[in-house]
Structure 1
Amino acid sequence: MTTPAPLARSHPLRRHAAALLAGSLLLATAGQAASEEEDVITSHGIATFGELTYPEGFEHFAYVNPDAPKGGIHHTWTLGSYDSLTPFTEKGDAAEGAWGVFDSLMVSPDDTLGEYYGLVAESVTYPPDKHWVSFKMRPEARFSDGSPLTAEDVVFTVDAMQNKGQFRYRAYFGEIEKVEALGPHEVKFTFAEGASPRDLVPLVAGMGIFSKAYFEDRDFSKSSMDPPLGSSAYQVESADAGRTIVYARDEDYWAKDLPVNVGQNNVDRIRIDYYTDQGSAFEAFKAGAYTFRGEVNAERWLNGYDFPARRKGDVVLQEIPAHTVPNAGGLYFNLRRDKFQDIRVREAIETMFNFEFFNSRLFHGVEERVASFWERSDMAAEGPPSPEERAVLEAVLDDLPEGIGDILNDPAATPYAGEGSSQRDRQRQRRAIQLFNEAGYTLENGRLVGPDGQQFTFEMMYASPDAEQYLSPFAKELQGIGIDARLRFVDSAQWRERAETFDFDAMHVFIPMSELPGIELRDAFGSEYANVGGGLAVSGVSNAGVDKLIDMIVRAETREELRVRVSALDRVLRAMRIRVPYWVRPDSWIAYYDYYREPETLPEYSIGIPGIWWADQARYGELRASGAIR
């Protein structure tokens, strides 16, 4: 569930996912004008907390090269397979980037957090309590076949997502009470009573817009390999299910000269090849079969790139400082299973994960162990709770799960840390066995058995072969304390089936976390999603106290309130021991053939590839002629 080569937040092939996961937004005050006729505000953009960075009439985002040349190709890869070009349905595995063919009312720049500026929409209007919001749309907006994009298409989109989209989308859009076309180019959203405009405004601003006419004779709920009618800078050019997807830049793209698009969408084509494993994908890169990859394996990064194209200077390695909240990686327990109900069992298994040894022997010491679900942010819980955080926790204390300790006074939970001098850490073993003993398990003839006399079994499911380098020794360590520990490698089809039916003990997965958390937390940790298969609710957390904390986060009215409440949730999730946490590194690692060019300064919150990068076509020709690129 990772993307080896992530796309820029503002790029069309990433925009819709960013809209759903970017978190909560409030409407800004900068550049806004109050109407004399009504108590409403009209603005060119919306922001989370405080003022908009870009004033009305701005020419382009600060980090782009407005004179970047057009042309060339961005050729990258991903793991797994796909059998659908419709990412909004329950059925099928959608192609990477499939959401990106649809434009949205507004887009978010990569140098700010929680700010949206007009794309299909010219402006946004709302009252002070924000229980409704309307968008004035650009009359020139078009779908790729030249048909107009109107308010009726927006109305159709919301109706389709509420009634026929994936379950999580239906829930998100379900808090929209009414959507109305006030005219051909104006659409109004009214939110349900008690809903949070802080999340719903960016949701509707950032949603991909579908063509009502296109779906008149098509079933929206069915998976399809027919390229849908989109409106963005890139449309599907060709699709070979499970092998390759190619998006081509629309030369007649209606919005190519808008300020939010200047200096962006530079390459003519974006091609994504699918591979079954990391090893074969890397060998293909070395041979020039594709030209850009994000690297996740420390051994490969430090020692694997000494190949001819790299030595000749045809391949460039770049380490870019990371500033964003990383995906919350880990081995997530399936809390729906009885054997994981006792927190001490989960903590014992977590204790046996010898990160210090793995880091020194496998990762060359470059990784940093994570504890928080919001690493690299001020929302990560640290030490004992502050008075402000204590007040939040006290409000939900009676509803929190048993066994999480003195949450009001204890330091935030961190993983067990050993010396890392050897793989077999006796002190670590003693601690884990003690926890199992407290939970009612005993060692009998080298087998860890429960009150029922059965040996404790633990199966780890993963789909990335790279994970085996640390999951395999982890399994051996668990076996060393009497656990029947096993690994189960699955392909993408098996992964989907098992995830949807919760057929796993623990899952190797990376859950996306937001810089501005909001309603997406319900999808990952809320009770209403705990038994929705195939979503973000991997562990199946179902606790009234967690639900209340999420509601408090959704309704935070200031950045400081948000920080305190997210920190409280982070503290609780960590104390619940729902995963064996992994690690992060301080930099993003990328490798590419030397024809990619980038702006002088990359934005703080994104690598920007391929959106704001461009291709040196002369250099590309040289690399092709020399045989470096196939």
Structure 2
Amino acid sequence: MQPNRRHAQARTRASKTRDKSILWGGLAILGLLATLALSGKARAEGDENIISSHGYSFYGDLKYPADYPHFDYVNPDAPKGGELAIGFVGTLDSMNPYARQGRAHAFSVFMYESLLGEAPGGGAAPADAYGEYYCLLCERLEYPEDRSWVIFYMRPEARFSDGTPVTAHDIAFSQNLLLDQGLKSYADAVRKRIPKIEVIDDHTIKFYFADGISRRSLIEQVGGVPAWSKKWYEETGAKLNESRLDISPGSGAYMIDSVDVSRRIVLKRNPDYWGNDLPFNVGRNNFDRLRVEIFGDSAASFEAFKAGEYSFRAEGDSRIWATQYDFPKVQNGQVTKKELPNGTPPTATGIIFNLGSEHLQDRRVRQAIALGYNFEWTNESLQNGLFSQRTSFSEGTPIMATEPPTGLELEMLESLGGLVPEEILTEPALVPHTSNPETLRDRRNLRRAMRLLDDAGWVVGDDGIRRNAAGEKLTINYLFNSAASPTLTGVMQTFVKNVSDMGIDITLERVDPSQFTSRERDRDYDLLYDSYPTFLGTGTGFPQFFGSEDAAFSLFNPAGLASELVDELINISLRTETREEEIASLRALDRALRYEFIMVPLWYNPNHWVAYYDMYEHPEVIPPYNLGYLDFWWVNEDKAAALKASGALR
């Protein structure tokens, strides 16, 4: 539900749930008070127990006590200084990611902080504890056990980069700005769930939550709203829903130095940053400058990295990773190539079906099209055998559904009666088809696809094209970003070739990034290469990603999925009160989402692939939920000076 974090990645984020009365016997808040020694303390106020804490988690347990000196994974003595520079492939024309029009880089949100802190761009902080949030702009928060409201007590020393204080009035203004000018799905959800905001004084704000709903994720949602300057917006007349290059001052460690959306964006450390010495920030925000260099295509970007025009590369192209990192700077040690562990489930990326397209509403047609993707051949022939087939929305975690449901998960599914197809109850979770790795055109899968299309009423004519009884062609438009890497483009071209061989009139339409973004928002496609969020826990953002009520317009539900079964499972998950119940409900949700067949799942890499000029250092143990190169890595100035003296870096 957050506009810029918690369930996405920045791509920033809202929700709406259906208030069904699905209640589970035995679901009660047990053990909460027993964990308050870690999470805070409770006090009586009338008939309520009020919890006061330096942070928040739904189950009340926090890894870090109130007097924590710093996060365990950071280097508290990390030196400050230097620059980290990355590359970006595509086109940018805005510094406002909250507008429907325009395309903005993640750097456009780095300047902003929230009551409950996060990593730059909305990543996890702390990165070694899932579902825990710690005060940044606030000193502490209070809430009752039923979470009907929350009060944040803010730090009076917090300042925007223009020197003005960050107050409760700015927080209330920011929340209301999102409601008035933000995404419709976000605004609709928030108005139903957060009926009132009260500014108690300049540094105290209270949020009230509606009765009769799940309060899951609402405290971290309001705590995660970026703090924007009310003064700046009122003086400039700027709007949140317009594409623009000028931005409001933020309260974060970095501020804009320069913007040229056709070439580069540079952030610089705010020398007067108010929060430098907070335990939340110790060992973090270590670079003096952050820079992004912008390129029109991936080949130019890679050549620029080799030439030293930028210094850090998170590699996503398997062909380049396997075959192109043999240039002299790698051989002589000036560039380091490294695989680092990634503890988060892989992004649920795939070829997404637009369920609003009439031809794709028949599940058999979607299944047939999916059979055109040959993971085994693609991985071996085009991707150097470096990937694994992704199956689940929570791949490799306890949430991932595998065998037929049992125990609490089965009880939850059975409670929904006829909504649940029999095969979900009795068969293993749906997994992708297998293909012949020796040949792109798997004849067995092609015959299976042909039968599915025949059964769906799409018959091959004399011209080899499938038509229905009305004589309409089975025509599919696959919208694709022209800035994609050559390897990804090649993979999709082979997929389209296989689908064409089924008699489907399919077009891989490559458009520039700006047009791609615009058409994606308008849902002007049949197929789309995109992703859905993975999940390790439940949240009120789920209905916007997967729910029916927002399906027609949610930017975060590119398939337009509208399933009553999925809606009910979301409601069950939102009402769970123990981690065991939460995991069971999410496993059922993973199972149902895979059954709905909204995408062709592709591949994943269990590690981070990184290459960088040998001047960067990082903690010995990378935390599971954030690689952190923009967060808690640092520069070795002696190595940086040697690289510059040698001419390796420009």
Residue in structure 2 matched with residue 182 of structure 1 by the alignment:
200
Q: Deviations over 1:400-428 (max 9, x none)?
A: 6xxx6622112111111023121221111
Letter in 1 for 2:104: A
Q: Equivalent residue of 1:213, what SS?
A: helix
Is 1:610–2:630 an aligned residue pair? yes
Is 1:523–2:541 an aligned residue pair? no
Contact persistence 2:393–2:400 (CA under 8 A)? yes
Contact persistence 1:83–1:95 (CA under 8 A)? no
* Alpha-carbon separation, structure 2, partners of 1:397 and 1:495: 41
Structure-2 change in CA distance of 1:161 and 1:195 (3 Å): farther
Residue in structure 1 matched with residue 530 of structure 2 by the alignment:
509
Shift of 1:387: 3.2
Q: Equivalent residue of 2:226, what SS?
A: coil
Contact persistence 1:323–1:376 (CA under 8 A)? no
Shift of 1:386: 1.6
Contact persistence 1:320–1:589 (CA under 8 A)? yes
1:113-128 alignment runs, 5 A limit: 113-128=130-145
Deviates more, 1:547-556 or 1:446-455: 446-455
Paired positions, count: 612
Shift of 1:500: 2.2
1:285-364 alignment runs, 5 A limit: 285-364=305-384
Contact persistence 2:233–2:248 (CA under 8 A)? no
Match of 2:281 among 258, 261, 264: 261
Shift of 1:397: 4.5
1:349-498 alignment runs, 5 A limit: 349-399=369-419, 406-445=423-462, 446-463=464-481, 464-466=484-486, 467-498=488-519
Contact persistence 1:120–1:138 (CA under 8 A)? yes
Structure-2 change in CA distance of 1:515 and 1:19 (3 Å): farther
Letter in 2 for 1:199: S
Contact persistence 2:543–2:567 (CA under 8 A)? yes
Is 1:150–2:167 an aligned residue pair? yes
Shift of 1:626: 1.7
Runs of 4+ off more than 4 Å: 14-21
Deviates more, 1:523-532 or 1:225-234: 523-532
Contact persistence 1:15–1:206 (CA under 8 A)? no
Shift of 1:20: 7.2
Residue in structure 2 matched with residue 3 of structure 1 by the alignment:
none
Contact persistence 2:151–2:206 (CA under 8 A)? yes
* Alpha-carbon separation, structure 2, partners of 1:397 and 1:540: 24
Letter in 1 for 2:409: E
Letter in 2 for 1:561: E
Letter in 1 for 2:498: E
Is 1:584–2:604 an aligned residue pair? yes
Residue in structure 2 matched with residue 283 of structure 1 by the alignment:
303
Contact persistence 1:151–1:181 (CA under 8 A)? yes
**What is the percentage of aligned positions where both structures have the same residue?**
38
Is 1:167–2:188 an aligned residue pair? no
Match of 1:219 among 226, 238, 250: 238
TM-score norm. by structure 2 comes to: 0.90
Match of 2:50 among 30, 40, 45: 40
Is 1:90–2:100 an aligned residue pair? yes
Match of 1:71 among 81, 84, 105: 81
Contact persistence 2:351–2:529 (CA under 8 A)? yes
Deviates more, 1:464-473 or 1:585-594: 464-473
Contact persistence 1:288–1:629 (CA under 8 A)? yes
Is 1:566–2:586 an aligned residue pair? yes
Shift of 1:131: 0.5
Letter in 2 for 1:191: F
* Alpha-carbon separation, structure 2, partners of 1:15 and 1:624: 34
Shift of 1:137: 0.9
Deviates more, 1:247-256 or 1:490-499: 490-499
Query: Structure 2: 5+ residue runs without aligned partners?
Result: 16-28, 118-124
Shift of 1:171: 3.4
Structure-2 change in CA distance of 1:448 and 1:20 (3 Å): closer
Contact persistence 1:465–1:489 (CA under 8 A)? no
* Alpha-carbon separation, structure 2, partners of 1:512 and 1:609: 22
* Alpha-carbon separation, structure 1, partners of 2:69 and 2:501: 63
Residue in structure 1 matched with residue 212 of structure 2 by the alignment:
194
Shift of 1:86: 2.3
Structure-2 change in CA distance of 1:342 and 1:37 (3 Å): closer
Structure-2 change in CA distance of 1:162 and 1:43 (3 Å): same
Contact persistence 2:14–2:541 (CA under 8 A)? yes
Q: Deviations over 1:536-591 (max 9, x none)?
A: 11111112222222222222222222211111121112112111110112211011
Match of 2:228 among 206, 210, 218: 210
Q: Equivalent residue of 1:564, what SS?
A: helix
Contact persistence 1:397–1:545 (CA under 8 A)? no
Shift of 1:132: 0.2
* Alpha-carbon separation, structure 2, partners of 1:393 and 1:490: 42
Letter in 1 for 2:332: K
Q: Equivalent residue of 1:435, what SS?
A: helix
Q: Deviations over 1:494-531 (max 9, x none)?
A: 11221122211100112332322322222222122222
Match of 1:56 among 60, 66, 71: 66
Is 1:139–2:193 an aligned residue pair? no
* Alpha-carbon separation, structure 1, partners of 2:297 and 2:423: 44
Letter in 1 for 2:410: R
Q: Deviations over 1:185-210 (max 9, x none)?
A: 11111012233322110111122111
Contact persistence 1:104–1:207 (CA under 8 A)? yes
Contact persistence 1:350–1:580 (CA under 8 A)? yes
* Alpha-carbon separation, structure 2, partners of 1:278 and 1:392: 47
* Alpha-carbon separation, structure 1, partners of 2:558 and 2:108: 23
Deviates more, 1:113-122 or 1:268-277: 268-277
Query: Structure 1: 5+ residue runs without aligned partners?
Result: 1-6
Contact persistence 2:475–2:506 (CA under 8 A)? yes
How much is the aligned-residue C-alpha RMSD, in angstroms?
Answer: 2.1
Residue in structure 2 matched with residue 271 of structure 1 by the alignment:
291
Q: Deviations over 1:43-82 (max 9, x none)?
A: 1111233511011111000000001000111100223222
Deviates more, 1:605-614 or 1:495-504: 495-504
Contact persistence 1:163–1:170 (CA under 8 A)? yes
Q: Equivalent residue of 1:64, what SS?
A: coil
Structure-2 change in CA distance of 1:482 and 1:154 (3 Å): same
Match of 2:618 among 598, 615, 622: 598
Q: Deviations over 1:457-495 (max 9, x none)?
A: 222222114321111111111222222222111112111
Structure-2 change in CA distance of 1:309 and 1:259 (3 Å): same
Shift of 1:399: 4.1
* Alpha-carbon separation, structure 2, partners of 1:194 and 1:252: 45
1:233-248 alignment runs, 5 A limit: 233-248=253-268
Deviates more, 1:183-192 or 1:524-533: 524-533
Letter in 1 for 2:113: D
Contact persistence 1:595–1:619 (CA under 8 A)? yes
Q: Equivalent residue of 1:77, what SS?
A: strand
Residue in structure 2 matched with residue 4 of structure 1 by the alignment:
none
* Alpha-carbon separation, structure 2, partners of 1:567 and 1:15: 21
TM-score norm. by structure 1 comes to: 0.93
Shift of 1:133: 0.5
Q: Equivalent residue of 2:195, what SS?
A: strand
